[in-house]
């Protein structure tokens, strides 16, 4: 699916709604993410922090987990909603998790801060030369069922 055939408004609204539920008492940085599966279904999630800090779960990975729990393994797109002077891209760990379930996908980045322009990039730009499941002998990629 290319970026122009995706209903970004729908995906961004789902990410915004999830962001409103973010549990971010330590950083105060609320993140919402919505992933679009190849089926057309949308899975949204927010970041969930923890008093031990290191156990924090990013919104993007939480959204991917929701997609997998629903039985869907092909990622078509992702929208991420944050707040601040520029739209915030997924962290390195989340990029690697996204790369497990797609060769490449459009990544739409939105800041709720007034006047900040949204931008669309791609997973291959954010994570060139990703380590992929296919690099492990005997696996089916990406996100394939064994």
Q: Which residues bind ligand THU (CB under 6 A)?
A: 24, 27, 29, 31, 47, 49, 56, 58-60, 90-91, 94
CA dist list (Å): 28 to 20, 47, 61, 85, 90: 12, 11, 19, 15, 17
Complex with ligand THU: residue 40 or 86, whichever CB lies closer: 86
User: Taking the complex as a whole, how short is the minimal distance between the CB of residue 62 and ligand THU, in angstroms?
Assistant: 8
Contact present, 36 and 72 (Cβ < 8 Å): no
Which tokens hold the place of 53? 């800090």
User: Taking the complex as a whole, how short is the minimal distance between the CB of residue 67 and ligand THU, in angstroms?
Assistant: 16
- Give the closest residue to 15 by CA, choosing from 136, 142, 109: 109
Complex with ligand THU: residue 60 or 72, whichever CB lies closer: 60
Active-site residue, 86 included: no
* Catalytic pick among 60, 83, 86, 129: 60
- Cα 74 from Cα 130, distance rounded (Å): 17
User: Taking the complex as a whole, how short is the minimal distance between the CB of residue 23 and ligand THU, in angstroms?
Assistant: 8
Complex with ligand THU: residue 47 or 111, whichever CB lies closer: 47
The residue behind tokens 């954010």 is 126
Active site residues: 60
């Amino acid at each position: 699916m290319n970026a122009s055939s995706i209903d970004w408004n729908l995906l961004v609204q789902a990410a915004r709604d999830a962001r409103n539920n973010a549990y971010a008492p330590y950083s105060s940085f609320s993140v919402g993410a919505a992933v679009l599966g190849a089926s057309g279904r949308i899975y949204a999630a927010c970041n969930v922090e923890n008093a031990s800090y290191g156990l924090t779960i990013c919104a993007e990975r939480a959204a991917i987990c929701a997609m997998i729990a629903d039985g869907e393994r092909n990622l078509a797109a992702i929208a991420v909603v944050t707040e601040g002077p520029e739209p915030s891209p997924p962290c390195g760990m989340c990029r690697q998790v996204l790369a497990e379930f797609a060769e490449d996908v459009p990544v739409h980045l939105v800041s709720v801060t007034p006047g900040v322009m949204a931008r669309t990039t791609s997973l291959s730009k954010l994570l060139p030369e990703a380590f992929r499941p296919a690099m492990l002998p005997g696996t089916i990629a990406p996100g394939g069922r064994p």
